[in-house]
Structure 1
């Protein structure tokens, strides 16, 4: 460029600086001023120095350990009806109004688990808790049996070494059955009856007083409770069931099985028995079920038994009930005692769990 033109450009630049100063722009900071004096007063725009190191950025702050944010649920409009959420649960163990707990509903698949180890058989008795199933009950001489027709038996009659292939109804008073096999159900309606050393599919008592069941094996009647105290034809009084074995329920699809179901009694003793319902099935209610019916249950003693199985092992309703020195097995599905049981008049002491030997309690 001709020198004259250079002076003109520099003069123009000086004029621009003067104009900027007049407009209030400060050039007092030489480090921030984009212009530099050259040639005795002229200024030129500074080009960036390519050799200048870039300014190092401030180090990023170290992250702090903050709690993980949990997404809050979306607010629910109270004016809009929300769909009901049905809980996934097992069947309600609420007792039925007729005679047994309900087992309706869909069940979750059962978790796989090792089969419980059956304790070594012992014979109850002697005033201490049993340690497992295995009461020595049943026929004393199976080879002596002869098949006979069912008979109501007369007062004071004795039936011995006999087999009944169906059901049998006993109406006579003070009758005795010994070493007898009844394939179906034996129904006792006569007071003072005694059944010993026998084997029956099921046993029922109604309207009788002073009945004694001793060393009897009870199993096999399809769809029947082991023992059913109905009191439908009159309230049962002073019933003794001892040293007997109630086991292996023969349930059907619609069964509501109990080892013993009591629907009204005044004076019941269960001593030295073995109630063995086994691993849970939907048709199993309770090993021992005291139901409030036909005048209720009073003066009940449950002592020195082995008791195992059922939805809940015990359903209790009664006055002056003593549950003592019993051993409870592991197969109660939901627990030992049905939560809505009336335990206000229950004495519960000296009871243990079979597997651990630890103390059992109503709670």
Structure 2
């Protein structure tokens, strides 16, 4: 049932045709360095999400990169971090770590939710709006129904990178900040009720970037990346140079209570074909897509995305996204 479907089964909403812009969006490189990717201390350069995996993320990746990581000790608190500048590293953490203060770093930790329902592994800003956070080289696992590996929905600006996140209902949820070079894989098994997404953006408070991640869903309920306006307006989302696969539809870009997402850009990603129904489910409001795009070309951009297996364009100009 997975994989290749007909064009008519591509979208949950009414069929639509996307118009491709011919140049990068204004400010599209703002989240990257002059080389197109930021330097990751100890981890080397990663050109694309296809280069990411278990060997160069999480604690195993940190050890392979020569970082002083791996000699873990049990963490006995505090589990609510309200002191600015706190650094937590090389710890075995069972339960949810809640970050309320600015400039907090969590590095080289094994975070185990131990089967807890509706829990978060690392939760930034659930009561405040901290910024300057750095979440890197952690292994986050062991969730159950309702869990989120890294929850950034009420956080300020920060960086989440090189984490290995698995066995959650939802891998990472964010409302802004930079999520780069993470490995999201093996969500909890579908039990008929879970709404499983590897990345969720349900409203943004600032620009959000997904850069060079490997995002793998097992192909059923719901998406590898789910972008909507459930919790508020969603604007200025850059999804660039990732490997993305699986889900009912791999990508959702849907209208919800706060309208349509705007300025959503998919650039240079590679896609597998293990989706359940198709590559993308998307809505547009008010008029035909061609007219919407002509009036507001930054509403949605699809540029230089390919199928991973063939490197053929995943979205030829002027056509609905094809299936291999």
Q: Give the TM-score taking structure 2 as reference length.
A: 0.66
- Number of residue pairs aligned between Structure 1 and Structure 2: 233
1:225 alignment partner in structure 2: 170
Q: State the Cα distance separating 1:259 from its structure 2 match.
A: 0.8
Where structure 1 has 5 or more consecutive residues not aligned to the other structure, the ranges are 1-90, 96-122, 230-235
- Over 3 Å counting, the alpha-carbon distance change for 1:93 and 1:355 in structure 2 is same
2:307 alignment partner in structure 1: 353
Which is bigger in relative contact order (C-alpha 8 A, separation at least 6)? 2
- Over 3 Å counting, the alpha-carbon distance change for 1:162 and 1:307 in structure 2 is same
Residues 118-165 of structure 1: per-residue CA shift (max 9 Å, x gap) = xxxxx9843x67378667211124631111124222211101111111
1:163 alignment partner in structure 2: 92
Helix, strand or coil at the partner of 1:164: strand
For the pair 1:183 / 2:112, whether they are aligned, the reply is yes
2:30 alignment partner in structure 1: none
Report the Cα distance in structure 2 between the residues aligned to 1:210 and 1:242, rounded to whole angstroms. 13
- Over 3 Å counting, the alpha-carbon distance change for 1:305 and 1:352 in structure 2 is same
1:303 alignment partner in structure 2: 240
Instruction: Give runs of aligned pairs for residues 2-41 of structure 1, distance below 5 A.
Output: none
Helix, strand or coil at the partner of 1:338: strand
Helix, strand or coil at the partner of 2:58: coil
Q: Aligned Cα RMSD in Å?
A: 2.6
CA contact (8 A) 2:49 2:213 kept: no
- Over 3 Å counting, the alpha-carbon distance change for 1:177 and 1:133 in structure 2 is closer
- Over 3 Å counting, the alpha-carbon distance change for 1:214 and 1:312 in structure 2 is same
1:323 alignment partner in structure 2: 266
Where structure 2 has 5 or more consecutive residues not aligned to the other structure, the ranges are 1-8, 14-43, 64-68, 114-120, 142-148, 255-260, 294-298
Report the Cα distance in structure 2 between the residues aligned to 1:245 and 1:188, rounded to whole angstroms. 19
Q: Give the TM-score taking structure 1 as reference length.
A: 0.59
Instruction: Give runs of aligned pairs for residues 1-363 of structure 1, distance below 5 A.
Output: 125-126=46-47, 130=50, 136-139=56-59, 140-141=62-63, 143-150=70-77, 151-153=79-81, 154-184=83-113, 185-189=121-125, 190-201=130-141, 202-221=149-168, 224-229=169-174, 236-237=175-176, 239-253=177-191, 254-265=193-204, 266-278=206-218, 280-281=219-220, 284-317=221-254, 318-340=261-283, 344=293, 345-361=299-315, 363=321
